[in-house]
């Protein structure tokens, strides 16, 4: 959840520098966003405040947040010191949320978009942060009825955090292809694998894949420029798909669609976590890493949005085209040394078919959209396999 910024810009930037320089490597937290649904019609319903009330005094309360609209809820693992801890908490938080939503007669779904709910019917929650977003973005924020999975990874050192972000940019399209889950939106079959990414990253300012920055001073200079020119008044208005967080000493990876099952969320988070750690190690050991130009990364970003794991991605270093499946398998192989070191390997698993592929296959068979989505809703419950 984006919180209103209470510090001055100078104080916020100074705090970020202090926290990164005093931070800890490879702690993590995972955030998942869910649609709130009527159990009969499976359309989105504006009942977030009831969940807040139902969570009071529960174990979930400190790990529950609003996320723009009243028909959406976010749950967090909270800070974890190991990935095994996060892997335990991801399904547990879902169970805790279901213990609140079940008595309220609500269902949940976790894919990047709702297939037919109208954005005009969704109410923005009444917090200072989201009132401000509504004020400055208007139609752009109204349309953003999307759901994602975010992973924070602790990185020590301000320059190191910037360099890890730079390196992660190269892999964002592959992560998106693996995670794609949003092919239906606004009552249409979009033919996209990640309609969420098209709606969110192509409409919001300062969103999608950022430029590479030389170091923290270069990044800080840009952030100060944004504040000084009144382009932003909260640090969360940098909506990039990877960013050094200015409130926590973490690199936040925000590229992925929400995942239907807890098992898929765990596996995807494991890959993101291991990749981030692997790149930090590569930087420490001075391995050569090419910070690819944004214009080339955007080519792969579009391929991932449009074709997901069914398509092809460009190997930018080899200047050749490979299948998205091959790129994903190569990525897993790349992270394995650090995954073994950090105990992540048992959780690494690429889906045989991800959610977008499953949805499109059912659509091709003539299965009604309602039934496709109903199966997605069922899969939210931990222990469900697809």
pTM: 0.97
- Cα separation, 330 vs 382, whole angstroms: 29
Phi and psi at 295, nearest 5°, equal -65, -30
Task: Please list the alpha-helical segments (H only) found in 22-127.
Answer: 48-55, 83-101
DSSP class of residue 347 equals G
- Cα separation, 285 vs 279, whole angstroms: 10
CB 175 within 8 A of CB 299: no
Decide if pLDDT at 214 tops 80. yes
- Cα separation, 256 vs 246, whole angstroms: 20
Q: Which pLDDT tens digit goes with each residue over 81-130?
A: 999 999 999 999 999 999 999 999 999 999 999 999 999 999 999 988 89
Q: Which pLDDT tens digit goes with each residue over 260-293?
A: 999 999 999 999 999 999 999 999 999 999 999 9
Where in the chain does DSSP place strands (E)?
Answer: 28-37, 64-67, 69-76, 107-109, 148-154, 184-185, 188-189, 207-208, 239-240, 242-244, 250-257, 312-315, 320-323
**pLDDT tier at 3 (50, 70, 90 boundaries)?**
low
Q: Which pLDDT tens digit goes with each residue over 5-21?
A: 889 999 999 999 999 99
End-to-end CA distance of the chain: 29
The mean pLDDT value of the chain amounts to 96
In angstroms, the Cα distances linking 111 to 26, 33, 195, 197, 311 are 27, 9, 10, 12, 20
| Residue 272, number of CB atoms within 10 A of its CB | 28
- Burial level of 182, CB count in 10 A (0-12/13-18/19+)? buried
Q: Are strands 312-315 and 320-323 parallel, antiparallel or unpaired?
A: antiparallel
Task: Please list the alpha-helical segments (H only) found in 252-384.
Answer: 262-284, 294-307, 324-341, 355-364, 369-378
- Helix-, strand-, coil-residue percentages of the chain, each rounded to 5: 50, 15, 35
Assigned architecture for domain 9-378: 2-Layer Sandwich (3.30)
pLDDT at 1: 46
pLDDT at 2: 57
């Amino acid at each position: 959840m984006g919180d209103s910024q209470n510090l001055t810009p100078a104080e916020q930037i100074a705090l970020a520098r202090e926290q990164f320089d005093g931070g800890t490597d490879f702690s993590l937290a995972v955030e998942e966003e869910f649609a709130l649904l009527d159990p009969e019609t499976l359309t989105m319903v504006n009942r977030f405040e009831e969940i807040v009330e139902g969570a009071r005094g529960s174990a979930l309360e400190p790990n529950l947040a609003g996320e723009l609209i009243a028909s959406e809820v976010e749950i967090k693992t909270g800070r974890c010191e190991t990935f095994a801890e996060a892997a335990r908490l991801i399904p547990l938080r879902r169970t805790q949320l279901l213990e609140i939503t079940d008595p309220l007669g609500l269902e949940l779904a976790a894919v990047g978009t709702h297939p037919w709910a109208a954005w005009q019917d969704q109410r923005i929650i009444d917090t200072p942060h989201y009132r401000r977003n509504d004020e400055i973005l208007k139609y752009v924020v109204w349309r953003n009825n999307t759901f994602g999975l975010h992973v924070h990874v602790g990185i020590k050192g301000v320059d190191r955090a910037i360099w890890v972000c730079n390196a992660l940019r190269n892999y964002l399209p592959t992560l998106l292809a693996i995670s794609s889950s949003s092919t239906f939106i606004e009552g249409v079959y979009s033919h996209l694998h990640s309609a969420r990414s098209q709606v969110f990253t192509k409409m919001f300012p300062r969103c999608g894949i950022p430029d590479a920055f030389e170091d923290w001073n270069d990044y800080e200079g840009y952030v100060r420029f944004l504040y000084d020119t009144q382009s932003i008044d909260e640090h969360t208005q940098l909506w990039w798909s990877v960013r050094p967080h200015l409130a926590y000493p973490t690199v936040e990876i925000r590229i992925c669609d929400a995942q239907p099952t807890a098992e898929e969320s765990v596996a995807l988070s494991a890959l993101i976590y291991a990749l981030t750690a692997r790149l930090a190690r590569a930087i420490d050991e001075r391995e050569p890493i090419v910070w690819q130009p944004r214009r080339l990364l955007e080519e792969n970003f579009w391929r991932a949005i449009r074709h997901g794991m069914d398509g092809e991605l460009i190997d930018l270093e080899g200047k050749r085209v490979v299948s998205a499946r091959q790129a994903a398998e190569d990525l897993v192989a790349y992270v394995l040394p650090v995954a073994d070191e950090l105990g992540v390997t048992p959780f690494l698993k690429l889906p045989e078919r991800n959610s977008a592929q499953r949805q499109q296959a059912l659509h091709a068979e003539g299965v009604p959209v309602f039934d496709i989505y109903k199966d997605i809703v069922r899969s939210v419950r931990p222990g469900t396999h697809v």
